[in-house]
Amino acid sequence: MNSEADEGMSRRSFLRTGLGAAAAGAAVTGTAAAQEEGEGGGGTEVAVGPGGNNVFDPETAYVQPGGTVTWVWESGGHNVVPESQPDGSDWSGHEPIEDSGFEYEHTFETEGTYEYVCTPHASLGMEGVVEVTTDPPEETGYQSILPDSAKTLGVAAMGSLVSVLGMAYFFMKYGGDYGDNEQ
């Protein structure tokens, strides 16, 4: 007499489970990809005063129209004030002086060059540029704001997906113990 506990997993059950796990892995990977793309044209991050230096890093940031630039203060006493921008744009920057840990972001819709400064340190050369373009220089490209943890999660999810599909292939090709299990 066979009880339910004695029965092995059927190919269909295994395949259903494997496909469920693969779908979950694809969903996680898709979420990480969606975070990378962001709304519109992606985004980039600019460090404000990294290492206590009076610079923006990178000095020139590239985003697509609809892309977001996030400025992250890494030292205190800085701001982001536009000096020039394309006609029809509405960027007002962030004039208040902020300290380390503060973040400010803006989504750029209008293509063109946006030049900005940190007003307390403009005389020291603390200047930056945002280039909103559909065609960034090849050697520069668009910077990614996707954190390393999201990249790691995407790689792990893809590894799990490949592993589950490999096991499904193995069990479908070579089968399992489907003989009579009489005891």
CATH class of 43-144: mainly beta
53 vs 51: CA distance, rounded Å: 5
Rounded to two decimals, the pTM is 0.57
Work out the pLDDT band at 154, boundaries 50, 70, 90: confident
137 vs 75: CA distance, rounded Å: 29
Three-state DSSP at 128 gives strand
* Residue 175 in tokens: 């089968």
Q: Enter the DSSP assignment of 16.
A: H
64 vs 141: CA distance, rounded Å: 10
* Model confidence pLDDT, tens digit, residues 81-94: 999 999 999 999 99
- Give φ, ψ of 63 to 5 degrees: -140, 155
Task: Give the residue extent of every domain in the chain.
Answer: 10-34+149-174, 43-144
